[in-house]
A and B are shown apart, each in its own frame.
Chain A
Amino acid sequence: MHDTERQQRRAAIRDGLGVGVAVGVSGVAFGAAAITAGLTVAQACALSLFAFTGASQFALAGVVGAGGGLVAGAAGALLLGARNSFYGLRLAVILGGTRGPLRTLVTAQGVIDESSAVAFAQPTPAAARAGFYTTFGTIYLTWNLTTLLGALGASQVSDPAVFGLDAVGPATFLALLWPRLRGDVNTPKEETVQLRLIAAGGAAIALLATPFTAPGVPVLLAAVAALIVMLTPGTPERAAAE
C-alpha cells in the first residue's frame, strides 16, 4: 500500500473517531430528554439501539412529552429519518458495493448524518470506507452507552426542568441545522438563501398550526415550506447539475 493511501485512511479514521466521540456523547442529552418527556429508561435505550438516528429519536420523544399524537409522532420521526435513504444511495456507490447481504444489513444501521458526512469528505473509496465504519462504530458505542447514563441520571431527578434539560432538544436541532443556514464556500449563495427561507417558513407554519392540530402534526406540515420554495418559479435548479 502506498504511503499516501495509508495516510488518507489514517486521516479518515481520525475524523471518524473525533466526530464519533463528540456526537456520540450527546446521547446523554437524548437519554435525559427522553426521560424528561416521560419515556422509560428501557424505551430510551431501545430507540438508541434500534432507531439509531438522533433527530428522529428527539422528535418522537418531543411528541410524547407534548402529550399526544403518537401516530403523528412516529410519522414525524420517519419523515426526519427519510434523509438517511438518500445518504444510503450515495454511500452504496462510495462504499463500493457492500459485500454480501449480511454486510449490507449491518451497514444500513450505520447510515446517519455523521457517518455519511465523514465518508463523503474523503478523497478515495478506501478512505471513505475507513471513515464511514470508524464513525459508525464509535457513535454506536458511545451513543448507546451515554443514552443509558443520561436516562438513568435524569430518572433520579424529580423535575429535570430544574437542570434546563428541556432546552437541550431544541439546542440540538439548532446545532445540527446551523452549518446549513450559515452557508460555506462550497454552497452557492442562492441555495443558502433558499435554506434560510425554508427554515423560517417551516418554523412559522409549525407555530401557526400548533394551537389547531395534535402535537406532531405541526412539524409534518413544515415539510410544505420545502415544497413551496422548491416549486417557486425562478429558483435555481443547481441540484440537477450536481
Chain B
Amino acid sequence: MTVWWAIAVTCLGCYLLKLAGLAAPRRVLDHPGVRRFARLVPVGLLAALIAVQTFGHGQDLHLDGARLAGLAAAVVALLLRAPFLVVLVAAAVVTAATRLLGM
C-alpha cells in the first residue's frame, strides 16, 4: 500500500464517517452502549497517541529529553489555561531550545 492509497482511504473513510452520522438511522446510533463507547473511545486513542509519539521511535521506546521538556512545557501552558496555539508553540520552542543547548 503506497502512501497515496493510505491517504485516499483515510480521506474517503473520514468523509463517509461524518456523512453516516448525519444520514444514519436513529435507532442504531441512539443505542446507549454505542453512544457511550463513542464518547469514551477517543480518550483512550488520544492518550495512546500522546504516549507513542512521545516515547516511541519506530518499534523502540526511548526517552528523548528535549521532546519530554516540550511536553512538560505544554502541560504548564495548559495548567495556565493558555490558548490552543500557545500550547503548541510552547512545546515546539522548548523542545528546540533544549536541543540547541545540547541537553
User: Could you list which residues of chain A lie within 8 angstroms of chain B, going by C-beta atoms?
Assistant: 22-23, 25-26, 29, 39, 43, 46-47, 50-53, 55-60, 62, 64, 66-68, 70-71, 73-74, 76-89, 91-92, 98, 104-105, 107-112, 161-178, 180-181, 194-195, 198-207, 210-211, 213-215, 218-219, 221-227, 229-230, 237, 239-240
Contacts and interface: CB of A to CB of B under 8 A. Distances in A.
Nearest to B11: A50
B52 A210 contact: yes
A177 B47 contact: yes
A214 B56 CA distance: 12
Contacts of A43: 3-4, 7
B6 to A, nearest CB: 4
Nearest to B39: A239
B13 A226 contact: no
A78 B14 contact: yes
Given A70-B6, A177-B43, A210-B52, A91 B38 contact: no
Given A88-B20, A104-B22, A206-B51, A71 B1 contact: yes
| Chain A interface, >50% SS class | helix
Contacts of A176: 46
A114 B18 CA distance: 14
Given A81-B18, A104-B19, 18 more contacts: A26-B88, A51-B7, A51-B11, A70-B2, A74-B10, A79-B41, A82-B41, A88-B18, A89-B22, A92-B24, A107-B22, A109-B15, A164-B94, A174-B78, A198-B44, A202-B47, A210-B59, A210-B60
Interface in B19-50: 19-24, 26, 29-30, 32-33, 35-50
Which residue, A163, A176, A178, A215, has most C-beta atoms of chain B within 10 A?
A178
A168 B84 CA distance: 11
18 contacts: A55-B49, A57-B10, A60-B6, A60-B10, A66-B52, A68-B58, A77-B10, A77-B14, A88-B24, A89-B30, A108-B15, A162-B96, A164-B70, A164-B98, A173-B49, A174-B87, A219-B49, A239-B39
